[in-house]
């Protein structure tokens, strides 16, 4: 997420954050993001309280979609879904369409950063992040 915000022109400043993590981990993540990214504010967040890595892998993409809809606030200019074990890449396109803001996921941001280093452009079906130049 921090690579994404520093290296792009999207300039997200007010986000909603969701994760499958326990509440305490989610609060630490919020604090880290706000401290590490100048001007960033997490306006709302929800954490599912899942502790087991195995259980995180079992979460369906539809669960992220549902939680996103329950958590979004009108003032947010971006949405962050945290956790590479939570399958979310397949819902980014429809979630961005429905929320009308960029959606960033941990897996998507990691893939984007790798492709950018290789000077390769990814598919825009994986979100507005991939509309930015890979070069």
Domain ranges of the chain: 2-131
Mean pLDDT, residues 53-76:
94
Tell me what pLDDT residue 34 has. 94
For 4, other C-beta atoms within 10 Å of its C-beta total: 22
Q: What backbone torsions phi and psi does residue 49 show, to the nearest 5 degrees?
A: 80, 20
For Cα atoms 32, 81, 123, give the angle at the middle one, nearest 5 degrees. 120
The whole-angstrom separation of Cα 118 and Cα 21 is 31
Q: Classify domain 2-131 by CATH architecture.
A: 3-Layer(aba) Sandwich (3.40)
Computed over every residue of the chain, the mean pLDDT equals 88
Mean pLDDT, residues 2-27:
79
The whole-angstrom separation of Cα 124 and Cα 131 is 6
Share of the chain above pLDDT 90, in %: 66
Better-predicted residue by pLDDT, 69 or 119: 69
pTM tops 0.95, yes or no? no
Residue 7 pLDDT > 80, yes or no?
A: no
Q: Is 41 exposed, middle or buried (0-12, 13-18, 19+ CB in 10 A)?
A: middle
Residue 9 pLDDT > 80, yes or no?
A: no
For residue 52, how many C-alpha atoms fall within 13 Å in the half-sphere facing its CB? 5
């Amino acid at each position: 997420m921090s690579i994404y915000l520093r290296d792009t022109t999207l300039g997200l400043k007010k986000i909603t954050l969701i994760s499958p993590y326990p509440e305490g981990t989610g609060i630490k993540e919020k604090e880290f993001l706000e401290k590490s990214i100048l001007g960033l504010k997490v306006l709302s967040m929800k954490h599912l309280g899942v502790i087991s890595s195995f259980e995180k892998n079992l979460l369906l993409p539809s669960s992220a979609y549902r939680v996103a809809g329950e958590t979004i606030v009108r003032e947010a200019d971006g949405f962050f879904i945290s956790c590479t074990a939570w399958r979310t890449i397949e819902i980014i396109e429809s979630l961005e369409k429905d929320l009308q803001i960029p959606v960033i996921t941990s897996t998507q941001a990691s893939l984007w950063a790798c492709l950018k280093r290789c000077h390769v452009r990814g598919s825009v079906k994986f979100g507005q992040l991939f509309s930015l130049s890979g070069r």
